Amino acid sequence: MGSTIIEKIVGNNVGKNVKPGDIVTVNVDRVMIHDIFIPFVASKFEEMGFQKLWDADKAVLIYDHLVPASQIDDTRHFKVGNAFVEKYGMKNIHRSDGICHQLMTEAGYVKPGNIVFGTDSHTTTYGCVGAFSSGIGYTEMASILGTGTLWIRVPETIKVNISGKLPGNVMAKDIILKLIGDLGADGATYKALEFTGDTVENMSVASRMSMSNMAIEAGAKCALFTPDEKTAEYCGIELTDKEKDLVGDADAEYCQVINYKAEDFVPVMACPSNVDNVKPVSELEGTEIDQVFIGSCTNGRLEDLMAAAEILKGKKVASFVKLIVTPASRKIYREAVENGTMAVLAEAGAIITHPSCGLCCGRTGGILTDGERVVATNNRNFLGRMGTSKVEIYLASPKSAAACAVSGKIVMP
């Protein structure tokens, strides 16, 4: 019997073959803590009696949700984080370089075959380069910081096969939203999603990131793509034979197989207030909006900004609509400036912010109030996510979002 990607990654780590349901203790390759959780991680770490980090090189602290501070208590998180870094000799810290999930792969912290945990549910993002990555709580994180290990249950795998060529107005965001709508918010709970097919092979790493990022919205433990030459170029490495072998075997056992034809995909949106409430944009056309947000760890990458700029070039944002654009990292910001994308967005009337989580987590500008409606490219549309509980959030691709910004209402890109 063959193995799925997750079974190979875990098996390689523990030095033996594993199957779904096995409980094993893995050696962790990297951890990520962000500013929201660092006070709780630090407190729990010392409560557990640890005197030092298991490996100061393998821990990364990233300030992204709370920068710049928008509430008085935010600065406490920075002070606690800085004190923890100094006391225990953490070497990898980013105070305002971008969103944690962008930086973890962009800065080279994660490689194919790694096992990585982070204090954020969207840590599933790193599956884009063939890593097993998942979100955990601050107690588990404190334990890893002290021991370098964590026990897990090997998950079953849902195989998602996508073949064919996507329509021009469809992006990876439309694919993952469609999948979440089909599976439901709990349809992949504690399972691995394994993406395959020629459509997936032709995707950029950035598009794969959008999909692995949102796997958690169907409850998935992780989402995995087979490392290829695009992965190698992105990570700045040459793939080893073991990394090239991170592909689901033909005789691997899957708990479910889902097949899609790329040509059948259409632009979709997740409607208020659940991510699995997915409908075609064509059914929502004409719905008036107040704001558009393009950014986040789901869709704040260069290809996302360029896709929006392509729609906005030579046009203006509707006079009664605010368009907020937030790059996912400083590097992306610079690249978008250098290739002219930022100029197009600015000329169209976009409000361009510093790289951060920003509006996605209801921080640093742009929050809405009762009765307002926003089309956003981030990953969650829960009640109260971007302001009051009476704000309506529609999740969409950058192309769809940009088209809506120009029209002042929901339209097809």
pLDDT digits (tens, 9 = 90+) for 224-278: 999 999 999 999 999 999 999 999 999 999 999 999 999 999 999 999 999 999 9
Residue-by-residue DSSP string for 42-71: HHHHHHTT--S-S-TTSEEEE--SSSS--S
The H or E element spanning position 143 is helix 138-147
Report all structural domains of the chain as residue ranges with CATH numbers, in order of start: 14-154 (3.30.499.10), 156-265 (3.30.499.10), 269-407 (3.30.499.10)
Q: How many helices (H) and strands (E) does the chain have?
A: 15, 18
Mean pLDDT of 287-301: 98
- Distance of alpha carbon 201 from the chain centroid: 19
* Whole-structure pTM value: 0.97
Taking the C-alpha atoms of residue 177 and residue 188, their distance in angstroms, rounded to an integer, is 14
Torsion of the alpha carbons at 10, 15, 19 and 22, rounded to the nearest 10: -80
Q: Residue 373 has which token pair?
A: 């409606």
- 164-191 pLDDT, tens digit per residue, is 999 999 999 999 999 999 999 999 999 9
DSSP 271: P
Taking the C-alpha atoms of residue 39 and residue 101, their distance in angstroms, rounded to an integer, is 20
- Distance of alpha carbon 188 from the chain centroid: 17
Q: Residue 26 has which token pair?
A: 């893995």
299 contacts 360 by C-beta, under 8 angstroms: no
pLDDT above 90: residue 280: yes
Mean pLDDT of 43-70: 96
Taking the C-alpha atoms of residue 279 and residue 290, their distance in angstroms, rounded to an integer, is 20
Q: How confident is the model at residue 70 (pLDDT cuts 50, 70, 90)?
A: confident
Q: How confident is the model at residue 114 (pLDDT cuts 50, 70, 90)?
A: very high
Torsion of the alpha carbons at 398, 401, 407 and 409, rounded to the nearest 10: 160
Q: Residue 254 has which token pair?
A: 């899957």
pLDDT at 72: 85
pLDDT above 80: residue 364: no
Looking at the chain, how many residues does it have? 413
Alpha helices in 159-259 (DSSP H): 172-183, 198-201, 205-213, 229-235, 241-244
Give backbone dihedrals phi and psi of 222, rounded to 5 degrees, phi first. -165, 170
138 contacts 31 by C-beta, under 8 angstroms: no
